[in-house]
Copies of this chain bind each other. A is one copy, B any other.
């Protein structure tokens, strides 16, 4: 059976009604499926109340110890478990996990070079426990991953959700055909950032390199696409990037940017 790995970002998580209709669409996806969610503003809002001010270096959030506790609470608890409870109400037998659960996503604390990112984990790709994830899928479970990993020495680590989705998709590609869907707030990769209808329907690595050079693709879209091409390179059949409102159209190929 085919597996669809879907990554959903913070902007949908921050909007209760949008999240609910997204989860209903996700529950209706056929075949094996896995959801990976990001964080959103909720963590920042709760952090502010707890006097944990976000600390960014080069656009990357630094995960100090209070921030690690904050994301453990908010990503691993509040967001993850509410998504699970809501999916259960749509008849989808979700199970909420971090990378520590079942030793699924072992990681290494990012080494300090120019910047100390704090408790940020780089996934040990060779040790992702795809066998256990396969067992869960075969038992009718739908894993829902929070963007947290662990170091094997007792520490949780903060890991980018796009990366987690890519690592899981790669590991599962050993066992079954895998499709990876990155949902965000645009209809796909745009030729003209000002025109929501300028979606690029399909893209090769050559196209990407050209568009990057011409500075048509910039900013946060670059690491997202780099993640996508790594996944393809490691056996994922296709990666689709598109709007969270259009999950079923993305999966059926009627919308979004498709990368093969």
**Could you tell me which residues of chain A, from 32 to 59, have a CB within 8 Å of some CB in chain B?**
46, 49-51
What residues of B have a CB within 8 angstroms of the CB of A98 in the complex?
81, 84, 96
**Could you tell me which residues of chain A, from 97 to 134, have a CB within 8 Å of some CB in chain B?**
97-98, 100-103, 132
What residues of B have a CB within 8 angstroms of the CB of A76 in the complex?
76-78, 80-81
Q: Is the CB of B101 within 8 A of A95?
A: yes
Of A145-153, A190-198, A215-223, the segment with at least 4 beta carbons within 8 Å of chain B is: A145-153
Contact of A93 among B72, B85, B103 (CB under 8 A): B103
Task: Name the CB-closest residue of B to A23.
Answer: B154
* Complex-state Cα separation, A80 to B75, whole angstroms: 13
What residues of B have a CB within 8 angstroms of the CB of A153 in the complex?
89
A204 within 8 A of B: no
Q: Is the CB of B101 within 8 A of A94?
A: yes
* Contact status of A89 and B152, CB under 8 A, knowing A82-B72, A101-B94: yes
Count of this chain's copies in the oligomeric assembly:
2
Q: Is the CB of B135 within 8 A of A81?
A: no
What residues of B have a CB within 8 angstroms of the CB of A97 in the complex?
95-96
A155 within 8 A of B: yes
What are some 27 contacts across the A-B interface (CB < 8 A)? A46-B73, A49-B49, A49-B51, A72-B82, A73-B77, A73-B78, A75-B77, A76-B76, A76-B80, A77-B77, A77-B80, A77-B81, A81-B98, A81-B101, A81-B156, A85-B154, A88-B103, A88-B150, A88-B152, A89-B153, A93-B102, A95-B97, A95-B102, A96-B97, A96-B100, A96-B101, A135-B139
Q: Which residues of A contact B (CB under 8 A)?
A: 46, 49-51, 69, 72-78, 80-82, 84-86, 88-89, 93-98, 100-103, 132, 135, 139, 141, 148, 150-156
For the complex of A and B, list the 9 residue pairs with the smallest distance between their C-beta atoms, beginning with the closest: A77-B77, A89-B154, A73-B73, A76-B77, A73-B77, A95-B101, A76-B81, A85-B100, A73-B78
